[in-house]
Amino acid sequence: MSAYALELRNLSKHFGVTRALDNASLRVCHGSVHGLVGENGAGKSTLIKVLAGIHRPDAGSLWVEGQSYSHFNPRQIARLGIQFIHQERLLPASFTVGEALFFGQELHRGPFVQRRAQQREAERLLAEHFGLWLPSGALIGELSSAEQQVVQITRALISQPRVLVFDEPSVALVQREVEQLLGIVKRLREQGLAIIYISHYLQEIEQVCDRVTVLRNGQDVAEVDPQQTSMAEITRLMVNREVAEMYPKPLVTLGDPLLEVKALSRLPAYRNVDLQVRRGEIVGLTGLVGSGAKALLKSLFGLAPAHQGEICLNGQALKLDSAHQAVREGIALLPEERRRQGVALDLTVQENITLASLLRVTRLGLISADSERRRTEALVTDLAIKAAGPQAAVRQLSGGNQQKVALAKWLSRQSTVYLLDEPSVGIDIGAKVEIYRLIGKLVEQGAGVLLLSSDLPELLGLCDRIYVMHRGAIVAVRAAADLDADSLLALASATYEQKDIRHAR
């Protein structure tokens, strides 16, 4: 038996002029968790897709158990026991949970698919691995991101793989679910699996990985032991420069209330919510899955309108019943599901960024193509959006870079209030700081920001005040300065129960 469960040797892969992989190597031992980190566009997903047989490498070889292959096809991969949890959620929305879990790996008796047995098995697996009950007849499209992720992981476990690859598995999960996920990863390692774990959350890497490979511009620039190497050092290897202060927060004098929410209710999602965002203020909003915070944010953008209560902007009561209207009033929403809702995949980077601002420009009757282009270029540079050029289709960008485009789109348009739903999810640490700096700029210019986030250090580092929701109600509002991560988590999870995950909307 080879010392390595898996070896990728000197892989290269280019797309047009982009060198996604440049002589990159990776070795993964049996019974270990191997982290893979790097900036957005460093080549992590490309490496994984070569391993998955989705891309054929230009050069290099793949070694499994001492056997070499120049590339894989899907059947070989399955036979070798390699399974993937890809960055993009790939389950069809019209499948039931049971179908999604067993698609392509159905339980058969003779020529017949054993639907009932499959359903029972699906429910058992979900309960065993996640302590979670999901009706196997529920449609994938009706599930929250977290639930879909859970289904995807469970699906990979059904075939009892020897190598398991996670490409940013924690992105859709909240803190407690991340802990569960890491627990599962550790259990699988004990069972002897070799695991590749990609994440932008270095705390997770530190908690769970035995080795870490750092990719930069398609090259493996270092392999380190995360127990012996500081996270600052790993970050420096990733970005090849020192990262400035993580949460650059400008000192802004707060003005009058911009956004006032009074006794707002939309049952059963949330009830009787009072909330204020002042001019120049960054207000945090957090809660576990099912707390109602997401639904509240949607209502504030005219989606899923509230049934009762009042929303005032600049002292004027608004009747918000469409997103179009919210945009017209000067409210911007950065949705969490950016790939699905935030960007137009087939348009170019430039088209995506100018789309939102064009509405404003044409409304005022002024079209200054030049200044729009300059603004686009400035944002592309500020956010370090890695693309072949402003004319590249957004579909071709790496996951994190697609998210940056979605953010740039809203930043290019001046709004009064910005509703940001998990703005830094999936974004590398260097670009995160840039996003935080841009958020700071928004409030310096007199906007108000409502930041929905489950990243506690981010909330504590950026916000003036933080609202905590639980089961549809605001249970606390505190100055960020009076909180730390533990107290914030305690507030959010006081009486949290597992079964609440079913309300994740």
Query: Which spans of this chain sit near ligand ATP (rule: CB under 6 A)?
Result: 15, 18, 20, 38, 40-46, 87, 386, 396-401, 428
Question: In this structure, are residues 394 and 342 in contact, taking their beta carbons and an 8 Å threshold?
Answer: no
Q: Which residues pair with 84 in a beta bridge?
A: 165
Name the DSSP class of 1.
-
> How many residues in the shown chain lie near Mg ion by CB under 5 A?
5
Closest CA to 91 of 123, 139, 133: 139
Question: In this structure, are residues 252 and 443 in contact, taking their beta carbons and an 8 Å threshold?
Answer: yes
Which ranges constitute the DSSP H helices of 4-131?
44-51, 74-80, 97-102, 115-130
Choice between 88 and 310, CB closer to Mg ion: 88
Residue 42 partner contact from ligand ATP, Mg ion, none using kind-dependent CB cut-offs of 5 to 8 Å = ligand ATP
Our finding on whether 426 is near Mg ion (CB under 5 A) is no
**What is the C-alpha separation between 305 and 315, in angstroms, rounded?**
19
Residue 38 partner contact from Mg ion, ligand ATP, none using kind-dependent CB cut-offs of 5 to 8 Å = ligand ATP
For residue 398, the minimal CB distance to ligand ATP (Å) is 3
For residue 87, the minimal CB distance to Mg ion (Å) is 5
Q: Which residue is nearest to ligand ATP (CB)?
A: 400
Residue 41 partner contact from ligand ATP, Mg ion, none using kind-dependent CB cut-offs of 5 to 8 Å = ligand ATP
**What is the C-alpha separation between 437 and 248, in angstroms, rounded?**
6
For residue 399, the minimal CB distance to Mg ion (Å) is 4
For residue 49, the minimal CB distance to ligand ATP (Å) is 7
For residue 39, the minimal CB distance to ligand ATP (Å) is 7
For residue 36, the minimal CB distance to Mg ion (Å) is 10
Choice between 55 and 413, CB closer to ligand ATP: 55
**What is the C-alpha separation between 305 and 320, in angstroms, rounded?**
7
Choice between 51 and 326, CB closer to ligand ATP: 51
C-alpha dist (Å) from residue 449 to 156, 374, 417, 421, 445? 39, 25, 6, 11, 11
For residue 45, the minimal CB distance to Mg ion (Å) is 3
CA dihedral 187, 188, 192, 196 (to 10 degrees): -130
- 471 in the Ramachandran plot: left (φ > 0), alpha (ψ -120 to 50) or beta? left
Which of these ranges, 38-46, 71-79, 295-303, 440-448, lies near Mg ion under the rule CB under 5 A?
38-46
Residue 440 partner contact from ligand ATP, Mg ion, none using kind-dependent CB cut-offs of 5 to 8 Å = none
Binders in 332-391 for Mg ion, by CB under 5 A: none
Closest CA to 419 of 288, 268, 285: 285
Residue 89 partner contact from ligand ATP, Mg ion, none using kind-dependent CB cut-offs of 5 to 8 Å = none
C-alpha dist (Å) from residue 401 to 16, 343, 392, 437? 18, 11, 12, 17
**What is the C-alpha separation between 295 and 41, in angstroms, rounded?**
32
Pairing of the two strands 163-167 and 194-198 = parallel
Helix (H) or strand (E) holding 380: helix 369-382
Residue 284 partner contact from Mg ion, ligand ATP, none using kind-dependent CB cut-offs of 5 to 8 Å = none
CA dihedral 117, 139, 472, 131 (to 10 degrees): 30
Choice between 24 and 288, CB closer to Mg ion: 24
Please count the CA atoms within 13 angstroms of the CA of 76 that sit on its side-chain side. 15
Choice between 427 and 442, CB closer to ligand ATP: 427
x/- contact string, 70-99, with Mg ion (CB under 5 A)? -----------------x------------
Choice between 74 and 389, CB closer to ligand ATP: 389
Beta strands in 413-455 (DSSP E): 417-421, 448-452
Residue 20 partner contact from Mg ion, ligand ATP, none using kind-dependent CB cut-offs of 5 to 8 Å = ligand ATP
C-alpha dist (Å) from residue 183 to 146, 178, 179, 244? 16, 8, 6, 32
Binders in 41-60 for Mg ion, by CB under 5 A: 44-45
Instruction: Tell me how many degrees the CA angle 290-477-319 measures, rounded to the nearest 5.
Output: 70
| Binds Mg ion by CB under 5 A, chosen from 43, 302, 399, 430 | 399
Our finding on whether 287 is near Mg ion (CB under 5 A) is no
Residue 291 partner contact from ligand ATP, Mg ion, none using kind-dependent CB cut-offs of 5 to 8 Å = none
Residue 18 partner contact from ligand ATP, Mg ion, none using kind-dependent CB cut-offs of 5 to 8 Å = ligand ATP
Residue 43 partner contact from Mg ion, ligand ATP, none using kind-dependent CB cut-offs of 5 to 8 Å = ligand ATP
**What is the C-alpha separation between 152 and 146, in angstroms, rounded?**
10
Distance between the two ends of the chain, CA-based, in angstroms?
A: 47
Our finding on whether 218 is near Mg ion (CB under 5 A) is no
Residue 226 partner contact from ligand ATP, Mg ion, none using kind-dependent CB cut-offs of 5 to 8 Å = none
For residue 215, the minimal CB distance to Mg ion (Å) is 10
Choice between 393 and 473, CB closer to Mg ion: 393
For residue 27, the minimal CB distance to ligand ATP (Å) is 19
CB atoms within 10 A of CB 104: 8
Residues of the shown chain interacting with Mg ion in the complex, contacts defined by CB under 5 A: 44-45, 87, 398-399
